[in-house]
Amino acid sequence: MNTKISDTLSDGILSSRLKRVLKSLASPLTEQAPLDSALVLEFDFQIDSTLVEKALNSIVARHDILRTRFVLSGEQVHVHVSPKSAIALQQFNLSADELLDSELVEKLIRTEQNKRFDLASEPLIGASLVVCDGACEDAGSVLILRVHSAIAEPECKAIILKEFCSIYEDYVRDLGRALTPVQRQYLACLVEPDAAKSMAEPVGQILNAHAGEGDVLTRADLAQSEHPQDRCTLFEQHNIGANQVRKLKEFAQSKGLTAFTVLKCAFDVMLVKAGLADWHVGHVVSTRRSSLSNEMLGAFDTVIGSRHVVDENSSLDIILGAVRDALLESLDEVDGKQHLDLFTRFDSTAPAFDVVVSYEKWLGDSQALARIGGTLRKCRSMPINIPVPLSVNMVESYHGMNLGCHFSAEQFERSTIQSMLTSFELILSAICDEAAYAVKDLPFIDHEQFQHLILGINNSWVDHAKSQCIHEFFELQANTRPNAVALICHDSSMSYGELNNKANQLAHYLIGDHGVQPNSLVGVCMSRSLEMVISMIGIMKAGAAYVPLDPTYPEERLNYMIEDSQLAVVLADTIGGQSLSTSYQGTVVELDDFATTSNHFLVDYDTRNLDKRTLGLNSEHLAYVIYTSGSTGKPKGVMIEHQSVSNFISGMCDALSVSSEDKVLAQTSINFDIHVLEFYVTLGAGAALIVATDEQRKTPEKITQLITNHHITLIQATPSLWKSLFDFGWQSSAKMSLLCGGEALSPTLLETFHNKCPDSQVFNMYGPTETTVWSAIAALDTSYCHMGKAIQNTQFYVLDEAQRVLPHGTIGELYIGGQGLARGYLHRLSLTAERFIDNPYYDHNVKGSSKKLYKTGDLVRYLADDNLEFMGRIDDQVKIRGFRIELAEVESALHRLTGVHSAKVVAAHIADSQQLVGYVKQHSKEASNADSIDAIKAALGAQLPEYMVPSILIFIEEWPLTPNGKIDKQALPDPESSNLHGEYVAPSTEVEEKLVYIWAELLGLDSEKVSCTASFFNLGGHSLLVNQLLQNIESQLAVELQLAELFSAVTIHQQAELVALATSQSALDEELEAADEVEIMAF
């Protein structure tokens, strides 16, 4: 008998577990598919295999659900209830020695547990028996009962075990007793929940009574409700010992609480400490409420949510009470929704849960099992498998508690889950021991992991020439290799000796004529040239620090920087001098042609090196001050000392193996601190520095010519520049060091690196200006992007909002300590104190332990291998409809799409709600905006949850950039409605006019701008608004539509057609009903 699902088991009453059964048929099998539950029964004698099989088949005969087949025929799923079905008991015959080999038996048990059911031909339970192959005295046996996850509730397993024991005992002892027949079958309840008269009817009759010719459920129908994160689900487990479970029970009893209340409290606290406080947590409850349901095999569990009540500043007693109250409220809601109908089910796939928790205390009848000489060796139970990022099933047994965890591989690393489960046990133990008064005092990591995160990972101390100033590295090379090429710019070059002499002449001039001294500030405002390099080195030789001033900056910005740094002297060329305000009262020293002419006024100054001791200069004095953008709208000057750069030069020369044989391209603006690597690491190692002019660095063509013509071996650039080089067509088979930093490196770009430059080494660089250029380095040989580890004499701390250490996998803010720390912000004492904090983990007994930490604002997490992964910015963290979203994740998904060159995502207030707006630059525009938007949204929808897909997409021809070459989000165009739907198409019917009004009111748009061809979802609509749209249409147009229809009919034109069709159908129904009444009256 084949029965069409749409006519018998409607989607509204199908249990969540059975829905998952059907969906598993509609999807290809994967290695990540959920496992089923199992009961492993151990006997100290040879159990009778014939009677075991006979008893199991008696259970199958009693329960129609066990004989139900789910058959996939083409694109259709059919339910078939077989009148007869039998379990074939699989038997494994082992020798006596093999039976005593616990590892061998355990491996066999695991193999059997992990077998998949063939839902088209097998019952929903299976069995395997392990026995001795000979006449072995005192030989035991093991029975493995597999229960499909569709009916894997603890109550179901208890029923199966109880009935098996009773029937087997009856067969062995020939008692001649029979179990009371099951009064009502589960499938009958689903089909006809209110028909009490059908309680004794066979399910086949009921199914036949409802069978018709309607459409069956298709593979596509099932796939639509699948959550994308369910496509790759992994499993991890963690065991809590029996002693801890005993403490849990005693503590719960002493507080008048249930064990689950305490477990739920510990779990919620763990989420808060893991930075997941805003996750929507659901928990599994049973809806069995009568003796009828208590004897049925079937799915009666559902998932409900409860209020989030954990406040870190509250006492544990208050939080425990609040968790109890929240759970009771949610249970009252379940009972209230049932309306005394024991079989009404909730659709547990509908709530947007981020995590689902279930608790199972084994309900098996131990006395019944003991009567046939058996013990429960283990009970493996699986949680209700709904498509959420994380589900945890807590199974209590005699041996303790097993935590079985399914998690999304796209959202979690296995090490993260392991860390979370360990932290959960640690928190639970502290709660039960009453070791903390407040939530904030509960531990999150154990001592061993804490020591590793504080001392192990941060053991980066290296002895180096800390007392050296930057220019002393260069002077050493100039003294030992004076004739080697130091600098090439355009058609000119300088040797180390020549560069040193020119820098010395400038230094003597600054000291003698302008009285500069240690910590004095001197501006450098000139185009890229030999003189620019001479200026920076000469200023440092004089004991002063340089302040880069970009001639292309607006005058207002330059004026602010000059006034803030109180510059008395600015070194410039003609272009730089012209960019300075005429109101500048200081001295402008023009250095045009100083490097190449013999008649410049500076040539008469001394060429000898200056003794820093005579100057009173040491490595703790300032080397440079670089201005970066500030949140107040005014740039702030970051003060960097020589000792910080000295550590950086030493570390980079070692990490990158820079030597005198290298040729390094310098294309970065000196207003961007990564120029420090290009200039001072190169000159400190005795390598050749090739400086790209302002004109050359503007185009990929010129840069690639420099790379080729000068046989460059080391290049450093931002991802944006690397993309432009590859887009231009550049590739190389040479062996180079390719450094990428300043922005997040995407997997796509990393793959391009490996494809275009297969013999080069790619390095991902990370570091804020406040910690001296780069603080982390990662040599990337695969397609996986990470930040790597700290460079020498640098410490990383991943901390929460209370500055507590977070374990591996948990996202927190990165704090950086070590010798790279800046002195602070120039003339900004309060901001310096805010961002450069005292290190709460400073230890004077540990070499290199940093007294201060810089608060980066970057969100990161430690991976299992101790590498850091960048997760975004604190200020880029947004909430959309209650969901926390890292914009970087959405951007990463956009970057991976074919045809997308680059992308940025921001949050904006649209249609009375915070929504995501995506800005996309395409490789080429081959389709209309509307078609491209639909294609991109469809592709994103295949990777991300619906709430992470931007409501609005705007195409960008060219990105607005900051002076440092990064994308300027503040300059992106506003998502105005006129830009969203292309050509305006006016309504042509009365229905369309009404729909336009409904849309405009709902989306907060001008009705005259709502085009009849625009997509609801491209104008700012989202899934929650669709529900409201449906209500408004039904109330204002007096028609009934299906919610699903509005997800496919997304324009005014399409919805008007739906309304017309529904109106016609309604009129036809009224006519037929009237005709029936007339016919009845005539009769």
Query: 41 in a domain, yes or no?
Result: yes
> Is residue 770 a part of any domain in this protein?
no
In which domain, by residue range, is 204 found? Answer: 3-223
According to DSSP H, which parts of 349-436 are helical?
366-371, 414-432
Residue 942 sits in a domain whose CATH number is 3.30.300.30
In this structure, the answer to whether residues 86 and 214 fall within a common structural domain is yes
Distance, in Å, from the CA atom of 263 to the CA atom of 261, rounded to the nearest integer, reads: 5
CA distance 637 to 543: 19
Which amino acid appears at position 734 of this protein? A
Contact 577, 590 (CB under 8 A): yes
Q: Is 840 within a domain?
A: no
Q: Kindly state whether residue 246 falls inside one of the protein's structural domains.
A: yes
**Are residues 967 and 1003 both part of a single domain?**
no
Burial (CB < 10 A; 0-12, 13-18, 19+), residue 1039, is: middle
| 264, 411: one domain | yes
Q: Between β-strands 824-825 and 836-838, what pairing exists: parallel, antiparallel or unpaired?
A: unpaired
Q: How far apart are the C-alpha atoms of 829 and 645, rounded to whole Å?
A: 22
The residue ranges of DSSP E strands in 874-912, in sequence order, are 877-880, 883-886, 900-910
d(CA 776, CA 783): 18
The answer on 270 and 213 residing in a single domain is no
DSSP 196: G
Could you tell me the CATH number of the domain that includes residue 164? 3.30.559.10
Residue 521 sits in a domain whose CATH number is 3.40.50.12780
Do residues 649 and 611 share a domain?
Answer: yes
Q: Between the CA of residue 458 and those of 453, 464, 746, what are the distances in Å?
A: 7, 17, 27
The span from the CA of 562 to the CA of 569, in Å, is 10
Q: DSSP assignment of 130-148, as one string?
A: EEESS--TT--EEEEEEE-
Last residue of a domain, one of 201, 223, 245: 223
Q: For the chain, which residues score pLDDT lower than 50?
A: 1-17, 25-34, 193-230, 338-351, 383-384, 633, 877, 882-884, 977-978, 1083
CA 998/CA 716 separation, integer angstroms = 54
Structure tokens at 143: 């029975």
Beta strands in 583-736 (DSSP E): 587-590, 622-628, 636-641, 663-666, 688-691, 714-717
Say if residue 963 is in the same domain as residue 1008: no
Written in H, E and C, the secondary structure of 525-549 is ECCCCHHHHHHHHHHHHCCCEEEEC
Is 271 found in the same domain as 210? no
Q: How far apart are CA 699 and CA 728, in angstroms?
A: 9
104: in domain? yes
Which pLDDT belongs to residue 769?
Answer: 92
Look at the chain and report how many structural domains it folds into.
Answer: 5
pLDDT score of 282:
86
Residues 146 and 202 reside in one and the same domain: yes
Same-domain check for residues 304 and 424:
yes
Q: Are 919 and 894 in contact (CB under 8 A)?
A: no
Q: What is the DSSP letter of 677?
A: I
Phi/psi of residue 123, nearest 5 degrees: -65, 170
| CATH code for the domain in which residue 296 is found | 3.30.559.30
End-of-domain residue from the set 919, 943, 975: 975
Residues 587 and 609 in one domain: yes
List of long-range contacts for 759-765, beta carbons under 8 Å, 24+ apart = 759/733, 759/734, 759/735, 760/732, 760/734, 760/735, 760/736, 761/735, 761/736, 761/737, 762/738, 763/656, 763/737, 763/738, 763/739, 764/740, 764/788, 765/674, 765/716, 765/739, 765/740, 765/741
Tokens of 674: 């990564």
Considering the domain architecture, whether residues 913 and 987 belong to the same structural domain is answered as no
Question: Which pLDDT score is estimated for 346?
Answer: 36
Burial 313-327 (b: 16+ CB within 10 A, else e): ebebeebbbbbbebb
Residue 140 lies in a domain: yes
Residue finishing a domain among 656, 687, 717: 717
Residue 368 domain flag: no
Do 64 and 189 lie in one domain? The reply is: yes
Decide if 651 is inside a domain. yes
The single residue listed with the structure tokens 């009693």 is 62
Closest by Cα among 482, 479, 477 to 495? 482
**3-class SS string, 604-647:** HCCCCCCCHHHHCCCCCCEEEEEEECCCCCCCEEEEEEHHHHHH
CATH number for the domain spanning 1037: value is 1.10.1200.10
